[in-house]
A and B are shown apart, each in its own frame.
Chain A
Amino acid sequence: MARSVPPRLKFQILPKIRNLSTPEGPLGRIKQLQKLVGAIIQYERIESQWSRADEARGYVERLIQEAVQNGPNHKPTMELANYWLVDKDLVHKLFKVLVPRFQNYTRAYTSMFPLPLKMPGRVNYKAVLELKGNAYPHVVPHHHDNHHTLLNQLLSAANDEYRQQKLAEKLSALNISMAQFGDEDKATGDAYSGAEEDGKGRTAADDNEEAAGGSPDKTTTAA
């Protein structure tokens, strides 16, 4: 029986393995990693040294990759799971819980975050390693809405102005004035129409206070 050619891992790995410091040599390294891999599968989120967590991450990803690809009936995969997961309940968890969860994943199965340093100076970087789709609150708040920050407001206004200008150039090349343009703009269906909707939506939402203060080009589009 054979295992398949592994698909590409979806995160950056180091070109060489790290020799985790252990008096037992390479076998000791594997034993350390066994514990970490088991802990990640069990608790789904752990805190560890950066180097160890990063090293263990590859093994977890590969293990899940194999499990998702081959399922529990594939003997080498089962052997692999049996070797890495010392607690045999976790083998069940791998195939019964994690495989369905990660069936359609196209990105990495795990994520890793550096922890802030408590003290400056000689540092031992710590990291949080977690399986995606766990039940805990997010480590870093994602879906963080940044549409309304000052920078993005300024840029989106600049974007609108730029699109307007491009459109005006295009129209002038066709000898159509902006005034004539009027209603057909949506019908022409170029990149501008989307941008305009975007701009309008935003002005309505948050700039209610300054309708009169709008730039001249904005008033033209409104007309």
Chain B
Amino acid sequence: MAASMRRLLPGNCGRFIQNVLPNERLLESRYSKSHGNTFQRTLPYVQFRMTHSPNTPAPWWTKKLDTSAPEDLTSDNEAFLQDMVEEKYSVDSPLKEGPWERADWTPRSVRCGLICRKIGVIPQWLNNGKKFYTTLLQVADNHVIRYTPPEINRERRRGSRTPNFGIQVVGADSADPRLFKAEYLGLFQEAGVMPKHHLSRFFVTRDAVIQPGTQLNAMHFSVGDFVDCQARTIDHGYQGVVKKWGMKGGPASHGATKFHRKMGATGGGGNMARIWPGKKMPGHMGNEWRILKGLKIWRINTKYNVLYVHGPCVPGPHHCYVRVMDTILPLRKRKGDGPKPPFPTWFADDYKDQEIPEEIFDESLHRFTASSIEFEEEK
């Protein structure tokens, strides 16, 4: 038996309870200021080394989650609070003022993007029998939270590279307001929507502004559009050079001692007898913002708000949030002479009399309800 494990015979167990875990003390330590955190942390605490892409938010950011001990409530009161949450946010129209005016789309307009969840990668087939992989991105209950006009943006962010863009903050995944700190809840007052788990901002042109409180869905994009997907890559933690940079390492045998997964020389001699900046070295791998550009949307499921985006390589692990925007690639973005996108976004009210199909396919995509592919005889 492991030395650290203490066997507790029935005889001395009472003592164990009395001395080591007095009920009252346990209860108290759960609520007292000094020991409050002890019971919060149920998983082992792991210290990560400082990375070049730290997860820690900047100190001036709004504190988000209220991680203190839960309220000690009766079931009745719990239910009452649930009711009140529903009551407070069950307003039909969250708009405090009239709807904003809509502008016409021009090739210079930059629309807002969506926050999606990467929910899986599955294969699809084209009508010519070619197989390829698509990444399923589910639009995660998006609402527009805030708009900051370019003037203020310019003033706040001196030296900004995007001085002529407004900032549209979009929130994803509504959550129980009781999870959050008061200051974070304050961010959602303007939009009048439930607090969101995740916020992200998009730079938009002035004509593409969407009123806070508006819901965004998958129809914001249409099949055949090309999009850019941005997300944080999979976090691999601290890795050696073989995994991180694909270096060869050393041989397994042939007299190799302590040289199996190491890097070789780090630089030359002479004048340059030092390690040059940018040398590939071990360190934190992953968890960095990466953008994959120009992915085609092959298929849209309007019921579940799922976009089928080309390729298996959308950055990030499963279930991560992905920012999906209109592509900036000049050859793939919408041209002025082609069809216009829903602008500034897709409003359900505009399509009340139309029936929106549950699934929208690209023309060249094989539908699974269709019969097998048959090639015509060549003449």
CA–CA, A45 to B10, complex, Å? 9
Cβ-defined partner of B21 (8 Å) among A46, A115, A146, A149 = A115
The answer to whether B7 has its CB under 8 Å from any CB of chain A is yes
CA–CA, A135 to B73, complex, Å? 28
Quick check: A141 and B23 within 8 Å, CB to CB?
yes
Residues of A within 8 A of B42 (CB): 114
Quick check: A146 and B73 within 8 Å, CB to CB?
yes
Residues of B within 8 A of A52 (CB): 2, 5
Quick check: A39 and B14 within 8 Å, CB to CB?
no
Question: B59-97: contact bitstring with A at CB < 8 Å (1 yes, 0 no)?
Answer: 000000000000111101100110110000000000000
CA–CA, A52 to B44, complex, Å? 11
Q: How many residues of B contact A (CB 8 A)?
A: 36
CA–CA, A135 to B84, complex, Å? 41
Quick check: A46 and B76 within 8 Å, CB to CB?
no
Residues of A within 8 A of B45 (CB): 123, 125
CA–CA, A49 to B310, complex, Å? 46
The answer to whether A83 has its CB under 8 Å from any CB of chain B is no
Residues of B within 8 A of A152 (CB): 72-74, 77
Which residues of A in the span 40-80 have a Cβ within 8 Å of any Cβ on B?
43, 45-52
Chain A nearest CB, measured from B229 CB (Å): 24
Quick check: A45 and B77 within 8 Å, CB to CB?
no
Quick check: B39 and A48 within 8 Å, CB to CB?
no
Cβ-defined partner of A159 (8 Å) among B35, B39, B77 = B77
Quick check: A39 and B21 within 8 Å, CB to CB?
no
CA–CA, A47 to B20, complex, Å? 11
The answer to whether A138 has its CB under 8 Å from any CB of chain B is yes
With A43-B7, A135-B10, A137-B14 as known contacts, state yes or no: A48 contacts B2, CB within 8 Å: yes
Quick check: B39 and A156 within 8 Å, CB to CB?
no
Question: A127-165: contact bitstring with B at CB < 8 Å (1 yes, 0 no)?
Answer: 010000001111111001011010110011011001000
Question: B2-24: contact bitstring with A at CB < 8 Å (1 yes, 0 no)?
Answer: 10111111100110010011010
Quick check: A155 and B17 within 8 Å, CB to CB?
no
Chain A nearest CB, measured from B271 CB (Å): 45
Residues of A within 8 A of B8 (CB): 43, 45-47
Chain A nearest CB, measured from B180 CB (Å): 19
Quick check: A139 and B73 within 8 Å, CB to CB?
no
Quick check: A35 and B2 within 8 Å, CB to CB?
yes
Residues of B within 8 A of A35 (CB): 1-2
The answer to whether A7 has its CB under 8 Å from any CB of chain B is no
Chain A nearest CB, measured from B76 CB (Å): 6
Chain A nearest CB, measured from B84 CB (Å): 7
Quick check: B1 and A138 within 8 Å, CB to CB?
no
Chain B nearest CB, measured from A5 CB (Å): 23
Quick check: B5 and A47 within 8 Å, CB to CB?
yes
Residues of A within 8 A of B43 (CB): 50
Residues of B within 8 A of A139 (CB): 17, 21, 26
Residue of A nearest to B40 (CB): A114
Cβ-defined partner of A155 (8 Å) among B1, B5, B41, B81 = B81
Cβ-defined partner of A39 (8 Å) among B5, B29, B73, B80 = B5
Cβ-defined partner of B76 (8 Å) among A39, A124, A141, A156 = A156
The answer to whether A32 has its CB under 8 Å from any CB of chain B is yes
Residues of A within 8 A of B4 (CB): 48-49, 124
CA–CA, A162 to B87, complex, Å? 11
Residue of B nearest to A149 (CB): B72
Residues of B within 8 A of A36 (CB): 2, 5
CA–CA, A39 to B7, complex, Å? 8
Residues of B within 8 A of A141 (CB): 23, 26-27
Quick check: B38 and A114 within 8 Å, CB to CB?
yes
Residues of B within 8 A of A25 (CB): none
Quick check: A43 and B71 within 8 Å, CB to CB?
no
CA–CA, A138 to B23, complex, Å? 8
Residues of A within 8 A of B38 (CB): 114, 116-117
Chain A nearest CB, measured from B74 CB (Å): 5
Cβ-defined partner of A50 (8 Å) among B17, B44, B73 = B44
A sample of 4 more A-B contacts (CB under 8 A), given A49-B5, A128-B21, A141-B23, is: A43-B7, A48-B2, A115-B21, A147-B74
Please list 17 pairs of residues, one from A and one from B, whose beta carbons are closer than 8 Å in the complex, sorted by A's number: A36-B5, A43-B10, A46-B8, A47-B6, A49-B4, A49-B5, A115-B21, A116-B26, A116-B29, A124-B4, A136-B14, A137-B23, A140-B27, A155-B80, A156-B77, A159-B77, A159-B80
Query: Which 3 A-B pairs have CB atoms at the shortest separation, nearest pair first?
Result: A159-B80, A155-B77, A48-B5
